[in-house]
């Protein structure tokens, strides 16, 4: 409960899980944006289950994501990723963190739109580089110019991520602060309908 008290903003945020119904809160964005870390905070604040699609893929395949990339290549990995995410979306309400390339798949985007509310955690290049350079498990960055690759991924993916229902700018700030901003953005996206459903006065 203390995490809820620290993160939940005022208003009808506590009713967000009811308003979601069977829909999932789905985090999208590049590697290093904080989808898993922020997703866990939001899930705890809203008393919802948290699922990381990459972890689920590893459980299903009994291989790590880097091993899957190395053995089967990106195309096969993306096909598996799509199947896993489509299955996970049947289990809402929940908070779901997706891999950086998942939202680039048109069918996955359609499924997320139908069964969830998408949140893009938008980050700048310097922040992403600082974070991903601390981990060696990023298959797409295993080359001589990881910054160049990350910049190219930003150029390719940001226009698609921008189709998400909600955009929250993430930065070098406490996870609780970003999580609270995510919940505020969700309230702004869903709030008026929720307030009417709950019989609360409109702002």
User: For 168, phi and psi rounded to 5 degrees?
Assistant: -125, 125
In this structure, what token pair is assigned to residue 165?
């229902």
Domains in the chain, number: 1
> In the block, which residue shows the tokens 């009808």?
12
pLDDT tens digit sequence for 35-89: 999 999 999 999 999 999 999 999 999 999 889 988 998 889 989 999 999 999 9
Q: Residue 203: pLDDT band by 50, 70, 90 thresholds?
A: very low
CATH number at residue 168: 3.40.50.300
Number of H helices, E strands in the chain: 9, 5
Mean pLDDT of all residues in the chain?
86
Quote the CA–CA distance of 35 and 44 in Å, as a whole number: 14
Q: How many CA atoms lie within 13 A of 187 on its CB side?
A: 19
**Is 76 a domain residue?**
yes
Say what the pTM is: 0.85
How sure is the predictor about 15, in pLDDT bands with cuts at 50, 70 and 90? confident
- Using the predicted structure, report yes or no on whether residue 28 has a pLDDT greater than 90: yes
In a domain, residue 139? The reply is: yes
192 is a domain residue: no
> Is the residue at 88 inside a domain?
yes
Is position 89 within any domain? yes
| Residue-range definition of the domain harbouring residue 136 | 2-183
> Is 197 inside a domain boundary?
no
């Amino acid at each position: 409960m203390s995490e809820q008290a620290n993160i939940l903003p005022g208003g009808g945020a506590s009713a967000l899980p009811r308003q979601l119904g069977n829909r999932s809160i789905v985090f999208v964005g590049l590697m290093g944006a904080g989808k898993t870390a922020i997703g866990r905070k939001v899930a705890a604040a809203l008393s919802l289950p948290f699922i990381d699609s990459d972890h689920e893929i590893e459980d299903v395949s009994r291989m790590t994501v880097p091993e899957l990339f190395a053995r089967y290549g990106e195309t096969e990995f993306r096909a598996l990723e799509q199947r896993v995410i489509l299955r996970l979306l049947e289990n809402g309400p929940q908070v779901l963190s997706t891999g950086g390339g998942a939202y680039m798949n048109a069918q996955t985007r359609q499924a997320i739109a139908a069964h969830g509310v998408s949140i893009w955690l938008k980050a700048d290049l310097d922040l992403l580089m600082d974070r991903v350079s601390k981990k060696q498990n990023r298959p797409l960055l295993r080359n001589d110019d990881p910054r160049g690759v990350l910049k190219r991924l930003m150029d390719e993916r940001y226009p698609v991520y921008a189709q998400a229902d909600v955009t929250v700018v993430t930065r070098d700030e406490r996870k609780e602060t970003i999580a609270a901003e995510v919940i505020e953005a969700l309230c702004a996206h869903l709030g008026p309908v929720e307030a009417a459903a709950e019989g609360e006065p409109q702002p």
